[in-house]
Amino acid sequence: MATDYAVMLPSLERLRDAAALLAPAGLRVGLETWLAGNAVMKRSFRGCAVIAGLIERNMPGQRKSGRQATFSSDILYDTLLKYDPDHVLMQITREEARKGLVDFDRIEEMLARCAGRLDHKELEGLAPVAAPLFLEMGRVPVQGAAEEQLLAAETARLMEASGLNKIVIAPVR
C-alpha cells in the first residue's frame, strides 16, 4: 500500500533489507502480478478488445447490456492470461496499465535517482505521513506463503488452547 509520502509493506517477519524490496525488476514482476487479477486491468483490456474488434458494444439490431459486455471481455481476458499471457492484446493492456494506471516508468526513474540512498528506519511510533495507510489495513488480502504461515500459527494456537496438542496417538499394530 502506498500514498504520495509513504509505503507500507505488511509482513509477518521483520524487514531486514528495504532496498531489495524496491528493486525495479522485482517491483515490475509484483506490479504485473497484482495488475493481472485486478478489475482495473480487466477494464483496460475491455477497451483494447473493443478497439481491436474482439468484442462489440452493439450487436446488429440489439444492444448488449453492460453486464454482457463485461462478461465477454472478462472471459477473453482470463483465457488469454491463462493460456497466452504474451498475446499482443495482453501486451498492450499491460503497457496501458503501466503508463495510464500506475506510470511505472516514472517509478523506475525515481528509484534509479534514489539508488543507494534509501534509508530504512524502524520507528517507535506511527509516522504522521503513514497514518492514511493504516486505514487501508485489511483491504489487501494475505496470499501465498504468508497465508500458509498465518494458518499454521492459528492452527497451533487453537490446538494448544483446546489441549489437543497433548494427545498422543499410539500406532496400531
pLDDT tens digits, 21-77: 778 888 878 777 777 777 778 888 888 888 888 777 665 566 655 555 555 788 888
Residue 139: predicted pLDDT: 66
Residue at 127: amino acid letter: A
**If you ran DSSP here, which 8-state letter would residue 62 be given?**
E
In a domain, 158, yes or no: no
Whether 9 maps to a domain, the answer reads no
CB 158 within 8 A of CB 151: no
Domain count, the chain: 1
DSSP 65: P
Would residue 165 count as lying in a domain? no
The confidence score (pLDDT) of residue 17 equals 79
Residue 5, C-beta contacts closer than 8 angstroms, at least 6 positions apart: 129, 130
Largest CA distance in the chain: 75
Nearest to 96 by CA among 32, 25, 23: 32
Q: Integer distance in angstroms from the first to the last C-alpha of the chain?
A: 55
- Residue span of the structural domain in which 109 resides: 18-120
Does residue 109 fall inside a structural domain? Answer: yes
pLDDT > 90: what percent of the chain?
Answer: 3
pLDDT, tens digit, 9 for 90 and up, residues 75-84: 888 888 899 9
Domain presence at residue 105: yes
Is residue 166 one of the residues assigned to a domain?
no
Tell me, yes or no, whether 69 lies in a domain: yes
Q: Is position 28 within any domain? A: yes
Distance between CA atoms of residues 52 and 33, nearest Å = 24
